[in-house]
Chain A
Amino acid sequence: MSQLLNALIQGALLGGNYALLACGLAFMYQVMRIINLAHGTLIVVAAFAFWFLADRWGINPFVALLGVLPAMAVIGWGLERAVFAPSVRYGLLVPILATFGLAILVNNLLFEQFGANPRSLAPYIGALSYGSWALGGDIYLGQLAVLIFAVAVALLAGLSLFLSKTLTGRAIRATAVDRDTVGLIGVNPRKVNAIAAAIAMVTVGIAGLFLGMRGSFTPYSGMDLLIFAFEAAVIGGTGSLWRTLLGGVLLGVVQSLGALANPQAFLIAGHCLFLAVVVGQALASGRSFGHFAKKVRGWI
């Protein structure tokens, strides 16, 4: 029983990490209609930035946030102008291809610069990387895991408040719905999207910090991160950023329960949940099922 409880708790905390990874991806899709396949790679870029500052100049990763997050915002602004805006006008597919190309380019630049050795921020954060609180009954709460979960909740709450209560947030939501009409009431949609991209990259920067603290990363870690972020975002669904947290927690709990049943089932359990949600959504929509049924009838 305590094993099951432990699996649920650890899974939920892991979900906070997945929500953090997925936050920028979901935000960018919901407000800019861009599926950013470079999302995971950009998280790795941020992680390398924290590692570089800590390794070369001894800057504590939490202090380095003050420099890395503004830099990520500038990168987001630049990416919007150079990659997202030119590609999004041609539909959903072109941004996917453009960001895939961006991911490959950045992966290789990171490899050229830093090599293939795994890096980690754990040596620079002292006991936080391994410290825990004992709850009794062989259940321990990792301090870093709790911190990551709290940051994910705070970040999602902050973003939700920003989108619903500020003029810029409302402009971002309106631009997501009807880019032409916001122009007709005096809002510059390009500027709004650049702000949204900058915000998304700030969340990517925070995800990069905790990626480095939780474990190790290489220039090619981005694609694995993208899969987890994508699964959390899809399982949660669109409509609210809070759903990203729900998706992350569900993914984490199912993975954790899978590992409880069989240690090798950790990843596959999460992938199965993802597949079940996608198929379930397709069937529930009816239209997709009807379309599929019509095709089958056509073949017969």
Chain B
Amino acid sequence: MSLLEVENLDVRHGLLRAVLDVGFQVERGEVVAFVGANGAGKTTLFRALAGAHRPTGGHVRLRGEDITAVPSYRRVKRGIVLVPEGRHLFPEMTVYENLVLATASGRKGTWNIESALAVFPNLAPRLKQRAGTLSGGEQQAAAIARALITNPDIMLLDEVSLGLSPVAVGRVYESLQRVMHTGTTILLVEQDLNRALSVATRILCMRQGRIVAQGSAQTLSKAEIMEAYFGGQDMAASEVRA
């Protein structure tokens, strides 16, 4: 039995079908990167997996149990947590308060505030600082640390490097590598293809709400990803970018 199974998932934004008939499976310990152009449906898919957006069709199963209708806070208690695009820290609360809130999930495990700070040591001197005053990289670190403290089996990371400087992205990924070594299953949305290929065990490419290509990071060539990313008719553009 797979850790996560997604079957024929449809998600709408009003009349717009943002995710269409998506299906995939994730095994324990995998790092799966979702790539695709803006509007491909990656963020909507992640929000649906986290329970923040109700699907209009299909199923999400965690360890074989159907959790399609389970609200987001209960999914966290069952082991799925989302680090949303834009971080969504509580800006007027301190870093410590942001982190300690995650203990409310009540899920036991190896992660706590101390172990999360060991992975993100740059947060330790900032605990009493208001989260809204952190730099972008520190905010991303705090958001990931907050998610880790819920002791997830699966962590969904949406747009890890969005809006961060290359140095900050490097630091965040350095810490993420340490998280990956603990065996936490990670699904991530990443616009930086090289980053995605460097950390992921598997790549899923989305276009117009569908998964159009998938494979292991070793077997899937950059050209194949680009073709899936932009579609055949836009290959000229994709070749330029590659």
B146 at the interface (CB under 8 A from A): yes
**How many Cβ-Cβ contacts under 8 Å join chain A to chain B?**
71
Residues of A contacting B: mostly? helix
Q: Do residues A171 and B50 form an inter-chain contact, with CB atoms below 8 A?
A: no
Min C-beta distance of A209 to chain B, whole Å: 33
B24 at the interface (CB under 8 A from A): no
Contacts of B51 in A (CB 8 A): 183
B171 at the interface (CB under 8 A from A): no
B104 at the interface (CB under 8 A from A): yes
Contacts of B76 in A (CB 8 A): 183-186
Q: Do residues A182 and B52 form an inter-chain contact, with CB atoms below 8 A?
A: no
Q: How far is the CA of A186 from the CA of B99 in the complex (A)?
A: 12
A174 at the interface (CB under 8 A from B): yes
Q: Do residues A187 and B105 form an inter-chain contact, with CB atoms below 8 A?
A: yes
Min C-beta distance of B106 to chain A, whole Å: 7
A170 at the interface (CB under 8 A from B): yes
Chain B stretch 43-90: residues in CB contact (< 8 A) with chain A:
50-52, 71-74, 76-77, 81-82, 84, 88, 90
Q: How far is the CA of A170 from the CA of B72 in the complex (A)?
A: 19
Residue of A nearest to B50 (CB): A184
Q: Do residues A186 and B102 form an inter-chain contact, with CB atoms below 8 A?
A: yes
Q: Do residues B146 and A177 form an inter-chain contact, with CB atoms below 8 A?
A: no
Chain A stretch 165-207: residues in CB contact (< 8 A) with chain B:
167, 170-171, 173-174, 177-178, 180-189
Q: Do residues B90 and A183 form an inter-chain contact, with CB atoms below 8 A?
A: no
Contacts of A189 in B (CB 8 A): 73
Min C-beta distance of B223 to chain A, whole Å: 36
Interface size on B, residues (CB 8 A): 29
Q: Do residues A170 and B88 form an inter-chain contact, with CB atoms below 8 A?
A: no
Contacts of A182 in B (CB 8 A): 73, 101
Q: How far is the CA of A185 from the CA of B73 in the complex (A)?
A: 7
Residue of A nearest to B91 (CB): A177
B100 at the interface (CB under 8 A from A): yes
Min C-beta distance of A75 to chain B, whole Å: 25
Min C-beta distance of B13 to chain A, whole Å: 15
Task: Decide yes or no: A167 and B100 within 8 Å by CB, A183-B52, A185-B105 being known contacts.
Answer: yes
Q: How far is the CA of A188 from the CA of B91 in the complex (A)?
A: 20
Q: Do residues B93 and A167 form an inter-chain contact, with CB atoms below 8 A?
A: no
Q: How far is the CA of A174 from the CA of B89 in the complex (A)?
A: 9
B234 at the interface (CB under 8 A from A): no
Q: Do residues A188 and B73 form an inter-chain contact, with CB atoms below 8 A?
A: yes
Chain A proximity mask over B158-181: 1 for CB below 8 Å, otherwise 0: 000000000000000000000000
Q: How far is the CA of A288 from the CA of B220 in the complex (A)?
A: 57
Q: How far is the CA of A184 from the CA of B74 in the complex (A)?
A: 9
B12 at the interface (CB under 8 A from A): no
Contacts of A186 in B (CB 8 A): 73, 76-77, 81, 102, 104-107, 150
Residue of A nearest to B150 (CB): A186
Taking a contact as CB atoms closer than 8 A, the residue among B71, B93, B102 that contacts A185 in the complex is: B102
8 contacts between A and B (CB under 8 A): A170-B100, A171-B101, A173-B93, A177-B92, A181-B90, A184-B82, A185-B104, A185-B105
Residues of B within 8 A of A (CB): 50-52, 71-74, 76-77, 81-82, 84, 88, 90-93, 97, 100-107, 146-147, 150
Residues of A within 8 A of B (CB): 167, 170-171, 173-174, 177-178, 180-189
Inter-chain pairs besides A184-B82, A185-B105, A186-B106, 13 sampled, C-beta below 8 Å: A173-B92, A173-B93, A174-B93, A178-B90, A180-B72, A184-B52, A184-B73, A184-B81, A184-B84, A185-B76, A185-B81, A185-B146, A186-B150
